[in-house]
Structure 1
């Protein structure tokens, strides 16, 4: 099995990462539009991280670079997006684990903040969390949606790590 993984090309790793991004977004959109669960600001930031990783995977799959530089760049960019998603999802899980008396109060909605505040202030406010991000609306096997998203990002990290491993080991022709 490991020998087969070592032989995967940049395109194959990128397509696998892209397929997992599509799966993650499909679940998120299904829960929103079919299940009726509204995403909080941290959920939206997690979606942005998935879409950023997907964009890098699409370009990498189309380009399918040879040598070391291209795979390192694509692997690094997609890993950066995935690590950003891991950070936001971990923050979300942490907010949900707080006792009720320590949960930050609810702030203005994301749409309002985007209209009236500079982007860096919006990011800072969203990452500080709010009461709506600490609510647990859904559990599956005792794990909340941000917990599952964190697991998804960890699994997704395998694709850029596979690309980087092959690039660093010099296994591409």
Structure 2
């Protein structure tokens, strides 16, 4: 490896990737006017953990395991969210439309009034046929690979 590709620098690169993902999400929200659903917010927390792990990697190479866990966690949530958006499975009842079968008019009205403003089973934006949740999953899997490289290079003592 070159002197620049140290385990610490690789971990910082992965953390910067998660920071970029958070900045993009906030940009879509605050500049683009796309309010996040509950599952979108869930996907942000592991990225924040990975950014923290990047900072901790300056102290200990073991922090890369925390970053790897964060990247895999947000990829998993993004994958689940993608399935909800595509109708492959139901999402949490707190952020999807759910079934209205067998509801009385009063119960239906209560369900409508209690529904969140932004639903998890609708795609507000997509690029190349992939939603933000899908892109988060793919990019996060790539970041997990970078974290794994940081771990492997630290084990080799590079």
- Distance, in Å, in 1 between the alignment partners of 2:53 and 2:145 is 14
1:92–1:146 contact (8 Å) kept in structure 2: yes
Give the TM-score, by structure 2 length.
0.76
2:8–2:150 contact (8 Å) kept in structure 1: no
Q: Which residue of 1 aligns with 2:153?
A: 166
**Aligned match for 1:87, one of 67, 72, 76:** 76
CA 1:135–1:163: 2 relative to 1, 3 Å: same
**Aligned match for 1:141, one of 110, 115, 128:** 128
**Aligned match for 2:139, one of 134, 152, 156:** 152
1:106–1:132 contact (8 Å) kept in structure 2: no
Which structure features the higher share of helix residues?
Answer: 1
Give the TM-score, by structure 1 length.
0.70
1:53 counterpart = 2:40: no
Query: Tell me, what secondary structure is at the counterpart of 2:120?
Result: helix
Structure 1 residue runs of 4 or more that deviate by more than 6 Å after TM superposition:
none
CA 1:103–1:80: 2 relative to 1, 3 Å: closer
1:162 Cα shift?
1.0
**Cα deviation digits, residues 17-43 of structure 1 (max 9, x gap):** 122122111110110001111111111
Structure 2 residues not aligned, in runs of 5+: 96-117
Structure 1 residues not aligned, in runs of 5+: 64-69, 109-130
Larger gyration radius, structure 1 or structure 2: 2
